[in-house]
Amino acid sequence: MKQNIAPGRKIICLNRKASFNYFFLETLEAGISLKGSEVKSLREGKGSIADSYAIDNNGELFLINSHIPLYRQSSYNNHNPKGERKLLLKRREINKLIGRINQEGLTIIPIKMYFFKGKVKIEIAVAKGKKVYDKRQVKKKRDWNRERARLLSRNNK
């Protein structure tokens, strides 16, 4: 599956399970506060946001449980691989997001992390968790589309 990538963007990592486990209500782009060794490690194409989420801490948003491995060439100045990372947004956006996550069942999850004009950006979504029957319905629809494509390709030959 080919992604539509805008010029100047280099995708570092994706959260592939996010669209299966959540309904996205709103998406937006945020900056992320990183140390030098974290950025260098991300430039090597390493990093994971698979099980991460954002929380509110004293009116600021922090990304929890994202993994950026240690940069081998960095010495004493290395970073914590599973540490909290501050999300950089405007005050109005932060207040709006905090208000939405205080509603029942809503959370903020990262969808993808990428470089944009040399800066690390992260696309986050306000999401509502899917129930088991929603996941079954998505899987059934995906299987049917796959089977339909097979049947159509056989008929065209």
User: Residue 56 CB: number of other CB atoms within 10 A?
Assistant: 15
* CATH at residue 71: 2.40.280.10
**Inside any domain, residue 140:** no
Cβ neighbours of residue 62 under 8 Å, at least 6 residues apart?
54, 55, 84, 85, 86, 87
Dist CA 6 CA 72 (whole Å): 31
Q: Which residue has the higher pLDDT, 134 or 49?
A: 49
Mean per-residue pLDDT, 93-118: 89
In this structure, what DSSP letter does residue 157 have? -
Domains identified in the chain, total number: 1
What residues make up the domain containing 99?
A: 9-130
Q: Do the domain assignments include residue 3?
A: no
Name the burial class of residue 6, with classes exposed (0-12), middle (13-18) and buried (19+) by CB atoms within 10 angstroms of its CB.
exposed
The owner of tokens 């963007």 is: 9
* Of 130 and 88, the one with more pLDDT: 88
Inside any domain, residue 155? no
Instruction: Classify residue 47 by its DSSP letter.
Output: -
The alpha carbons of the chain give a radius of gyration, in whole angstroms, of 19
* Domain assignment of residue 95, yes or no: yes
Looking at residue 3, its pLDDT comes to 59
Under the banding of pLDDT at 50, 70 and 90, the label for residue 1 is very low
Please tell me the distance from the alpha carbon of residue 142 to that of residue 58, in angstroms, as a whole number: 42
